[in-house]
A and B are shown apart, each in its own frame.
Chain A
């Protein structure tokens, strides 16, 4: 199971772009990279998933370099409501036991 490493915490300000990088050095060929967001007292919420290059949706962008050993979640123009914990996971087709790290606690300041 590929392990992920991401910063424990980050601070930013409203209106800024925030980039959270995740390292997954032993990612396998069939693994996908998935990010979730979690607010206090709620379950995690799916943000974005990708395999390579760049994926964009209405919430975020995900950048994955060619070697796929890392990925960067980009949140454009953050607001106070983006304060949450963000989890990076590597998802394998044959594995249902998703391994969750402690995530990155993002704090947005006014």
Chain B
């Protein structure tokens, strides 16, 4: 299967600890997104990469959150000094390069990392 892969699937941590999640997008996709989702809500945008460049970051995103995408391949999302409010599903999505015509923003999502902060 060459879909979007996220690791780990589940993470339980204590408040104040740092956690890091990894996302491996579909290989030919140059665009990568991170979202956060809590129960009963739709995904909330966190940040966006085009190749290795982080082009957008949600203004709601605390400075405890940082994301990287070295070499424009896999990406990591780190949360420092976790808080109970950080408990959520963290979703990664990727999409292929624009085809030059109209919009074709079709995102391919991974299965997410479920974070529980105790």
Contacts and interface: CB of A to CB of B under 8 A. Distances in A.
A27 B74 CA distance: 34
Interface string B75-116: 000000000000001011100000000111111111110100
Interface string B43-85: 1110010000001101000000000000000000000000000
Given A43-B112, A87-B42, A93 B55 contact: no
Interface of B: 4, 31, 33, 35, 40-45, 48, 55-56, 58, 89, 91-93, 102-112, 114
23 contacts: A30-B103, A32-B102, A41-B112, A41-B114, A42-B109, A42-B112, A43-B91, A43-B92, A43-B109, A43-B111, A44-B43, A46-B106, A46-B107, A49-B106, A91-B103, A93-B103, A96-B31, A96-B45, A96-B56, A98-B107, A99-B45, A100-B44, A102-B40
Instruction: Report, nearest first, the 9 A-B pairs whose CB atoms are least far apart.
Output: A43-B109, A100-B42, A97-B45, A91-B105, A96-B48, A93-B103, A100-B43, A46-B106, A43-B91
